[in-house]
Structure 1
Amino acid sequence: MEFIDLQTQYRAMRDPINQAIQAVLDSSRYINGPQVKELETALAAFVGCDHAVGFSSGTDALLAILMAKGIGPGDEVITTPFTFIATAETIALTGAKPLFVDVEPDTLNIDPNRIEAAITPRTKAIMPVSIFGQCADLDAINAIAAAHDLWVLEDACQSFGAANKGRRSCSMTTAAATSFFPAKPLGCYGDGGMAFTRDAELAQQLRVIREHGQIAQYQHAVLGINGRLDSIQAAILLAKLPCFEGEIQARQQVAARYAALLGGKVRIPVIRPENVSVFAQYTIRIAGRDQVRATLAQAGIPTAVHYPIPLHHQAVFAGLGHAREAFPNATLAANEVISLPMHPYLTAEQQEAVAQAVLSAVA
């Protein structure tokens, strides 16, 4: 059994993917090929946002947005300690300080009720993470930001395709960034990412930053990065995009099956009624996780842990001075979460085997 079955997905889309790759090879336009602009246009329309700017990774998209908005030394950006390192890493790379706020105990998204107390005169922005494929409470976060003259950057690296009240992730904040790492709901065959915004000036700044700050050949107006999205990766994503809506629906069916099999027996994901999650992971919570993982491994069932060490426990952020018990919800989640196989091609029989193994392990 595969944790994420990319081979089955590839076989289902083999011809359009191969043709898309071949077209790039035939053109030899490996950098800044027409596929990049075509993908930007398609994904802006998919999200319902005015501007999309392709990047070499979700991490680079986050970093470039922070750079374009002038975040730097002396500034603070509020975010969550329960996320992948890239979220806080990009803040720190600008010279700013990540300011952690604990997560909700059920969704594991940043808790809006705790944000306002963390704001200081140095706070410039809020970076919620739409964790595990479900949008954070962006309406509440936007309202807090507006009241304090801040701006909001959605880290949507796990939630592309998700929705809140009928609005797509990546369309509801000042800016957003997503990732196309192969394991993501919409993944390419390497690294890739995209930034989204309704602000035309910000979008243009992002295009400059991703090209080493270049405004014309060998003319560099600002510091930038080498952040371009490869033409081949854009072509692969364009080939996969027509199937994406169907895959989102399939993910709902897989999640509903898991809920029917496991609900009331173990702690399953809590999805807010106004949200549609893309279930980048299907993450349950179990005390004694290591023994459960070992039991599942013996049954040939792969699992993963996202994320076993909250960011305020990471050595790289020791200088922030947080006590280990500072964010109890994040810490407890880090000790309990376990992600089960999750992808659109998971069969009912496979899910029944997973559920049986989980329930026998916790019995």
Structure 2
Amino acid sequence: MNKKPITVTSPLLPPLEQFIPYLEQIWASKQLTNNGQFHQQLEVALAAYLGVEHLSLFANGTTALITALQALHVQGEVITTPYSFVATAHALLWNRLTPVFVDVDEDTFNLDPAAVEAAITEHTTAIMPVHCYGRPCDVDALQAVADRHGLKLIYDAAHAFGVKDDSGASILRHGDLSVLSLHATKVFNTFEGGAIISPDAATKQHIDHLRNFGFVDEVTVVTPGINGKMSEIHAAFGMLQLQHIDGALQRRQQVDQLYRHLLADVPGLTLKVREQGSNYSYFPVLVGEAFPLSRDELYQQLRDQQVHARRYFYPLITEMGPYREMPELRERPWPRAQKIASQVICLPIYPDLSDEDVARIVGIVRSSVQAPCVKKVS
């Protein structure tokens, strides 16, 4: 019997009938974009939910990341991670910046502050870490490095919706700017969307000008901005999503805990401990030598049975198209990032994933231990 496919994630979608009244209001107002009522409401409501003061909505997270770099007038070299989605580095190239990739911490998968400091040159102007899988970076150590060398610190916080730091406050408060993704694959989505969190009102105002072609009023342009505005339909959907997000996060936690219970005794699999304040956005597993299959063999076995796990993040950014050929990258090893990328597999996790689905996924994984096959030589 063919079983239904299980994807690595599935978007949070409230009941359609609950969205209709929002659409009716948009149709009645005829304002589809340009800082409409839902855009304004969502900025305020989202900032309050996340525990931040100054939040600017964007059409997507990549445009927000590009704009954040523009807002801080970053030039020259920017130190960042090779272990991320490629948009992290693309935002640098779009700003004609030079990415300098350094290795990650083997426990958190985030930028290693010591490696960051060792890579600083006279051309370095900024650090752009990623809160990988929503796990907080070592924000204190990175801030100390930035302060010592007079560098800007911009966080790619695409995965970090609702994540808390050690004090219990929002992780988004750290650095000069933090950038969220509200893409359909994220914990909280507005179909497509993003946001920049600013430390003060003046910075937010500048970012808001950049987001809207640089306009201050009908006849005044103060900066060469971009069209990065979020539409009213996306913002309205975000307002509806806020009514459901707490339940979604709670269910994600339950799925995470169920995986951990069912996989705890499987030899060769490493499950990283979750910190308090997590958003359970991903469920990464490292497939080690003691597991009967290689990571790629397990990946294929899952796919053969309609479970579409993903190898986030494989290959490394440094092994992709425009980066692989950069002369300055040829001599920089990233052994920890390379090892993680060769072992990691992210199992499906989302609010609609049932306990039965989790049991089915775990059953496929455990079957490899019960009936092992010979590993292929790569």
Q: Which bin holds the TM-score, normalised by the shorter protein?
A: over 0.9
Matched AA of 2:263: L
What code does the residue aligned with 1:224 have? Answer: G
CA distance in 2, matches of 1:277, 1:268: 18
Task: Find the aligned partners of 2:59 and 2:327 in 1 and give their Cα distance.
Answer: 29
Q: 1:9-47 CA deviation, whole Å, 9 max, x = no partner?
A: 43x533332322332233221112111111111111122
User: Is the contact between residue 313 and residue 324 of structure 1 (CA under 8 Å) also seen in structure 2?
Assistant: no
- Which of 61, 66, 69 in structure 1 is aligned with 2:64? 61
2:171 is equivalent to residue 172 of structure 1: no
Moved more, 34-43 or 305-314: 305-314
2:295 corresponds to which residue?
Answer: 289
Give the AA of the match of 2:136: C
User: 1:22 and 1:328, CA in 2 relative to 1: closer, same or farther beyond 3 A?
Assistant: farther
2:312 corresponds to which letter in structure 1? H
Match in the other structure for 1:40: 43
Amino acid corresponding to residue 307 of structure 1 in structure 2: F
Asked whether the 8 Å contact 2:310–2:345 carries over to 1, the reply is yes
Q: Determine helix, strand or coil for the equivalent of 1:77.
A: strand
* Percent of pairs with identical residues: 30
Q: Which amino acid aligns with 1:105?
A: E
The equivalent residue for 1:220 is 221
**Retained in 1: the 8 A contact 2:270–2:287?**
no
Contact 1:312 1:324 in 2 (8 A): no
Instruction: Indicate the residue corresponding to 2:16 in structure 1.
Output: 14
Distance in structure 1 (CA, Å) of the matches to 2:330 and 2:88: 20
Query: Does the 8 A contact of 2:52 with 2:170 survive in 1?
Result: no
* Cα distance in 2 between the residues matched to 1:224 and 1:46: 28
Match of 1:246 in 2: 247
C-alpha separation in 2, matches of 1:255 and 1:341: 10
Aligned to 2:291: none
CA distance in structure 2 between the aligned counterparts of 1:230 and 1:357, rounded to whole angstroms: 42
1:183 — aligned with what?
185
Measured at CA, do residues 17 and 320 of structure 1 come closer, stay the same or move farther in structure 2, by a change above 3 Å?
farther
Q: Secondary structure at the match of 2:308?
A: coil
Rg (Cα) greater in structure? 2
Aligned to 1:125: 126
Q: Does 1:321 align with 2:322?
A: no
Task: Please name the residue that 1:342 is paired with.
Answer: 349
Amino acid aligned to 1:149: G
Taking a change above 3 Å as real, the CA distance of residues 325 and 153 of structure 1, as seen in their structure-2 partners, is: closer
State the Cα distance separating 1:276 from its structure 2 match.
2.6
CA distance, structure 1, for counterparts of residue 21 and residue 270 of structure 2:
40
Q: Secondary structure at the match of 2:326?
A: helix
State the distance in 2 between where 1:137 and 1:21 align.
42
- Give the Cα separation in 2 of the matches to 1:269 and 1:233: 35
Unaligned runs of 5+ in 1: none
User: What amino acid sits opposite 1:315 in the alignment?
Assistant: G
Matches of 1:82 and 1:281 in 2, distance apart?
15
Following superposition, the deviation at residue 94 of structure 1 comes to: 1.3
Asked whether the 8 Å contact 1:76–1:124 carries over to 2, the reply is yes
Contact 2:181 2:193 in 1 (8 A): yes
Give the distance between the partners of 2:117 and 2:247, measured in 1 at CA: 39
Query: Secondary structure at the residue paired with 2:315?
Result: coil
Distance 2:198 2:244 in 1: 25
Where 2:26 maps in the other structure, the secondary structure is helix
After TM superposition, list the pairs within 5 Å mapping 1:307-318 onto structure 2: 307-317=313-323, 318=325
CA contact (8 A) 2:216 2:222 kept: yes
Q: Structure 1 residue 325: deviation in Å?
A: 6.7
**Equivalent of residue 2 in structure 1, options 1, 6, 14:** 6
Letter in 1 for 2:10: D
Matches of 2:45 and 2:144 in 1, distance apart?
29
CA-atom RMSD, angstroms? 1.9
Where 1:203 maps in the other structure, the secondary structure is helix
Native 8 Å contact 1:35 1:235 kept in 2: yes
Give the TM-score normalised by structure 1: 0.92
The whole-number CA distance in structure 2 between the counterparts of 1:169 and 1:330 is 23
Give the TM-score of the pair, scaled to structure 2: 0.89
Partners of 1:310 and 1:127 in 2: CA distance = 16
Note if 1:354 corresponds to 2:366.
Answer: no
Distance 1:338 1:22, change over 3 A: farther
Q: Give 2:315's aligned amino acid.
A: I
Closer/same/farther in 2, CA of residues 267 and 112 from structure 1, 3 Å limit: farther
The CA deviation string for residues 292-320 of structure 1, in whole angstroms up to 9 with x for no partner, is: 12211232222122121111222212225
Cα distance in 2 for partners of 1:137, 1:242 equals 31
- Report the Cα distance in structure 1 between the residues aligned to 2:300 and 2:331, rounded to whole angstroms: 27
Q: Residue deviations 1:228-275, cap 9 Å, x none?
A: 1111101101101122122222212211111111124243442464x4
- Do the aligned residues in 2 keep the contact of 1:21 with 1:236 (CA within 8 Å)? no
